Amino acid sequence: MATPATTAAHAPGASEDTGLWSWLTTVDHKKIGILYLYTALFYLMVGGLEAALIRTQLAKPNLSVVSAETYNQLFTMHGTTMVFLVVMPLSAAFFNYLIPLQIGARDVAFPRLNAFSYWVYALGGLFITLPIFFGVAPNGGWFGYAPLSGPTYGSGFNMDFWVLGLQILGISSLAAAFNFITTIINLRAPGMTLMRMPMFTWMSFVVQFLVILAFPVITAALFFLQFDRFFGTNFYVVQAGGDPLLWQHLFWVFGHPEVYILILPAFGLVSEVLPTNSRKPLFGYNVMAYSGMMIGFLGFGVWAHHMFAVGLGPVADSIFSLSTMLIGLPTGVKIFNWIATMYGGSLRFPASMKFAIGLIAMFTIGGISGVMHSSPPSDLQQTDTYFVVAHFHYVLYGGAMMGIFSGIYHYFPKITGRLMNERLGTWHFWLNFIGLNLTFFPMHFSGMLGMPRRIYTYDAGQGWELFNLMSTGGTYLLIVAGLVFAYNFFVSRAKGAVAGSDPWGAPTLEWSIPSPPPDYNFAQIPEVTSRYPLWDLKTPDRTAGLEHSHGDAGAIAAAHAVPVHEETERRTAKELGIPMPVNTIKPFMVALGIIVMFSGLIVLHAGKFPLAMATMLGGGAFMVASLYAWLTSPLE
Amino acid sequence: MTTASAGAHEAHEHTHYTTTGLDNKKIAIWAFIGSECMLFGSLISTYLVYKGKSVVGPFPHDAWTSPAGQLFKPILNIPVTSASTFVLLMSSLFMVLALAAVENKGKPGYEGWQGSSKVWLAATALAGAVFLGFQAYEFTSFVHEGLTIRTNLFGTSFFTLTGFHGTHVAVGVLWLLSLLFIDIKRGLGPRDTINVDICALYWHFVDVVWIAIFTLVYLIK
């Protein structure tokens, strides 16, 4: 065995097999997490390019960089890509990689289902993205409002890809959520009570419940739209008595919890980064967990604030206005708890910490403009203007993406065994911070001056020119920031300083094992006695005042649990006698069958009935056969 | 969890530690059922929101004369659907007996056909299939009477709601037949309880959804 310095990337215990086939067949939650990470970063590039084209078109009045039709496709795909193909999967990358490590498990509850989720996402992403190369990308907005997305006004193939693509991506999210709920409830190490879970796992836990309760609603709404488009039903057909508002209600009953699905994982990540780099326990842990639950719960009761302009009447407007203001409270609690975590701490500012503090500041700006929207009279002035665009980019880019960048800098050493370059990280942070404010802050003004969303160009003389030019310049700066990040990512991955198991002096279980972790994660399942097991071990004075338990896990019949310790030895699963799930291609095949089946409907729209039936039945049969093969073969 | 009859593979599988002591599958199926509640909640709400909003007939509970002078009777056939509902409810009873037979295989009181999991799995699947037969008959006769999924909002929301439920029953029947196939091939015993249990939970859920649909769509005017 060589020294750790030369084996960071290919250490024993980590999988030796790194060929293409090993990635297609892997069921290891860490490798699947890495697949999610790379795929989502690829789509981040795609979505970023779409944004760059949008902003180039809007840089000056009456430009014609792209046509109006192309512009519709670009803003639709920018929103759809960033929500479903970037932020959710980046969160999923962290769920996959971190949840089992943080709770002291060897894998997720259903490793093959996990692989299935990834492949449905990867193939579904292609399904919804590739049409842009043929000029038939979705063009009805990421919210797909009926009847614009219906068969009458959206008669092309464009929205077919959107409806079916979202349906496919929903399968992926739901399967993953069932998996993670089971994992968190059932695979926690002895002594890891719910109130000892790391805050990232807590926020992920809340998110999975949002997914399983919100996604079925859009599934139903999409089925209605699908039936309207393909089978001539009347769900959103006004002439038949149908009500397009049904779509808006169903979409936002999903859509508002969805924004918490996007932001809570980022909140979880910074809740790991801030205490570690303040060298102080998270302030108000219990309240942080409860406010996460509260956000999740209230998130289902605020959807109609997206619909104030519809005219729901004073009673409905008042109720949704109040519930929206109410949801600001648990969110504000989180902001203050993060600040209080830093207060009095021994602060350190690696790139991850800069991004975490950036999230607090930027999300607060987005949060405040959000509270402005909660008032219907104010919202009526702002709705459908760039002010709203400014608001949700502050929460989603300034919030979710900053949090995710923070998480990438923090966990990169765990995933790759090497540290990212801090100097480039600092450049990335400042370019990103200035770029995002330059892009999105002027949108508040162009919005207040009445610039509508989704227009492909505008006339001069309305006071919008300067603000638009600033936004476009900011976007280019964000692209430079992205390039710095990409360079740092790949160079550090190959040549970065070797990290060791715990480069940040962090408190939670994932840092007790080697970086990158061996296939089986923990050679011995740890027995946890507090929230910060590694600080108990290394800096006990930091956690002396917190609740601990001693030896109570005896009641838990755990066969091999041992007190938390740092694992440095690397041996293979076979040497340790740990049974590992075997790699299998079957989840990939089931996912492929699903995609083929859905593609049949596109063929149906093209009017080729026999071919459509053949595609659907063929894909369906392939899916069912692969599923039976999967279910009848043993896991290990 | 482990029993003397468990093979080496299964015995090993069961030594996996879980926090709650429950099998992972049990937790996953409950999460799945929670999710399905939201799906059927959306479908049922849509039906109710659109109730009485159809511009043209045929209608579920009222007669309708078309502009051309053709008379359409109220389309729902409550006696026939009551019969199919009864069959589906009975299938839940059969499912309980099947699970008990698997769980207690070989124990006193579980001898003969009354204690045979094969008999009760087959009975459950058969009852599900009969329910689907009733639904096929109902759908066909509605189409003959002039109501398709395109005719009006009632047709659209009715066929979608009951069609989704029927699809769930069909998946359940396939699941039951798969279990029956394994039972015939190698025999299901106590160590398979969890696999029959999750199927049973799904089946009962689908049954409960039908009670809601039958009440809200058929019985309430």
Residue A97's identity, in one-letter code, is Y
Given A110, A187, A213, which is nearest B19 (Cβ)? A187
Buried b (16+ CB within 10 A) or exposed e, B11-47: eebeebbbbeeebbbbbbbbbbbbbbbbbbbbbbbbb
Q: Name the helix (H) or strand (E) containing A527.
A: strand A526-527
Percent of chain A with pLDDT over 70: 96
Burial category of A17 from C-beta neighbours within 10 Å (exposed 0-12, middle 13-18, buried 19 and up): exposed
| pLDDT band at residue A547 under the 50/70/90 scheme | confident
Chain A residues close to B36, C-beta within 8 Å: 216
HSE-up of residue A518 (Cα within 13 Å, Cβ side): 22
Chain B residues close to A179, C-beta within 8 Å: 28
Among residues A199, A348, A198, A354, the alpha carbon closest in space to that of A278 is found at A348
Residues A515 and A415: their CA atoms lie apart, in Å, by 6
Burial category of A460 from C-beta neighbours within 10 Å (exposed 0-12, middle 13-18, buried 19 and up): exposed
- Sequence-distant (6+) residues with CB within 8 A of B83 are B134
Among residues A187, A118, A366, the alpha carbon closest in space to that of A266 is found at A366
Q: Least CA distance to B47: which residue of chain A?
A: A235
Tens of pLDDT along A11-20? 444 556 678 8
| C-beta atoms of B28 and A213 within 8 A | no
Among residues A400, A561, A419, the alpha carbon closest in space to that of A496 is found at A419
| C-beta atoms of B150 and A221 within 8 A | no
Say which CATH topology domain B24-219 has: Four Helix Bundle (Hemerythrin (Met), subunit A) (1.20.120)
Alpha carbon of A351: minimum distance to chain B alpha carbons (Å): 36
| C-beta atoms of A186 and B19 within 8 A | yes
- Which pLDDT does position A10 carry in this prediction? 45
- Angstrom CA distances, A300 to A19, A257, A396, A403, B44, stand at 44, 6, 19, 23, 18
Strands A562-563 and B64-65: unpaired
- Which pLDDT does position A559 carry in this prediction? 59
| C-beta atoms of B152 and A109 within 8 A | no
Angular region, B5: left φ>0, alpha ψ -120 to 50, beta rest: alpha
- Sequence-distant (6+) residues with CB within 8 A of A405 are A351, A355, A428, A429, A432, A485
Interface test with B, best of A107, A182, A218 (most B CBs within 10 A): A182
Query: Three-state DSSP class for A505?
Result: coil
Average pLDDT over every residue of A307-312: 92
- Which pLDDT does position B212 carry in this prediction? 97
- Angstrom CA distances, A8 to A12, A19, A575, A615, stand at 9, 18, 20, 46
Among the residue ranges A5-14, A40-49, A502-511, the one predicted with the least confidence is A5-14
Alpha carbon of B108: minimum distance to chain A alpha carbons (Å): 31
DSSP codes, A31-94:
HHHHHHHHHHHHHHHHHHHHHHHHHHHHSSTT--SS-HHHHHHHHHHHHHIIIIIIIHHHHHHH
Interface test with A, best of B149, B156, B181 (most A CBs within 10 A): B156
Chain A residues close to B149, C-beta within 8 Å: 227, 231-233
Residues B25 and B6: their CA atoms lie apart, in Å, by 18
Q: Which residues of A form the catalytic set?
A: 78, 107, 142, 172-173, 256, 258, 260, 271, 305-306, 331, 334, 453
Q: Which stretches within chain B are classed as H helix?
A: 8-13, 24-49, 78-103, 117-145, 153-186, 193-213
Which position has the token pair 């990169």?
A412
Does residue A38 contact residue A541 with C-beta atoms inside 8 Å? no
Does residue A562 contact residue A524 with C-beta atoms inside 8 Å? yes
| C-beta atoms of B27 and A187 within 8 A | no
| pLDDT band at residue A545 under the 50/70/90 scheme | confident
Spans of chain B below 50 pLDDT: 1-14
Q: Least CA distance to B17: which residue of chain A?
A: A558
- Sequence-distant (6+) residues with CB within 8 A of A155 are none
DSSP codes, A164-194:
HHHHHHHHHHHHHHHHHHHHHHH-PPTT--G
| C-beta atoms of B42 and A221 within 8 A | yes
Query: Three-state DSSP class for B218?
Result: helix
* Residue A3 scores a pLDDT above 50: no
| C-beta atoms of B24 and A182 within 8 A | yes
Q: What is the largest CA-CA distance in chain B?
A: 74
* Residue A486 scores a pLDDT above 90: yes
Residue B71's identity, in one-letter code, is L
Interface test with A, best of B32, B33, B42, B165 (most A CBs within 10 A): B42
Chain B residues close to A224, C-beta within 8 Å: 46, 160
Burial category of A3 from C-beta neighbours within 10 Å (exposed 0-12, middle 13-18, buried 19 and up): exposed
For residue A492, the Cα-to-chain-centroid distance in whole angstroms is: 24
- Sequence-distant (6+) residues with CB within 8 A of A392 are A259, A366
Which ipTM score applies to this complex?
A: 0.93
In sequence order, what E strands does A297-366 have? none
Please provide the average confidence, as pLDDT, over all residues in chain A. Answer: 93
Residues A205 and A267: their CA atoms lie apart, in Å, by 12
Chain B residues close to A109, C-beta within 8 Å: 24, 27-28
- The DSSP letter of residue A398 is I
- Which pLDDT does position A558 carry in this prediction? 58
- Which pLDDT does position A358 carry in this prediction? 97
| C-beta atoms of B153 and A212 within 8 A | no
Chain B residues close to A628, C-beta within 8 Å: 178
Residues A343 and A243: their CA atoms lie apart, in Å, by 53
- Sequence-distant (6+) residues with CB within 8 A of B96 are B200
Average pLDDT over every residue of A472-490: 97
Phi, psi at A142, each rounded to 5°:
-70, -15
| C-beta atoms of A186 and B22 within 8 A | yes
Partners of A230 in the β-ladder? none
Domains defined for chain A, CATH in brackets:
30-542+559-566+576-581 (1.20.210.10), 588-636 (no CATH)
- Angstrom CA distances, A45 to A42, A232, A427, A492, B72, stand at 5, 37, 19, 19, 59
For chains A and B, count residue pairs whose Cβ atoms are closer than 8 Å: 122
- Which pLDDT does position B170 carry in this prediction? 98
Residue B62's identity, in one-letter code, is D
- The DSSP letter of residue A452 is B
Q: Least CA distance to A103: which residue of chain B?
A: B19
Q: What is the largest CA-CA distance in chain A?
A: 76
HSE-up of residue A296 (Cα within 13 Å, Cβ side): 23
Q: Is the peptide bond before A147 cis (omega within 30 degrees of 0)?
A: yes
| C-beta atoms of A216 and B39 within 8 A | yes
Residues A11 and A519: their CA atoms lie apart, in Å, by 11
Does residue A364 contact residue A332 with C-beta atoms inside 8 Å? no
- Angstrom CA distances, B9 to A41, A501, A558, A609, stand at 40, 35, 20, 48
Among residues A170, A246, A247, the alpha carbon closest in space to that of A215 is found at A170
Interface test with B, best of A106, A194, A228, A233 (most B CBs within 10 A): A233
For residue A264, the Cα-to-chain-centroid distance in whole angstroms is: 9
HSE-up of residue B162 (Cα within 13 Å, Cβ side): 24
Strands A562-563 and B71-72: unpaired
| pLDDT band at residue A572 under the 50/70/90 scheme | confident
- Which pLDDT does position B160 carry in this prediction? 97
Average pLDDT over every residue of A297-312: 94
Residues A47 and A130: their CA atoms lie apart, in Å, by 13
Give me A510's structure tokens: 């994932």
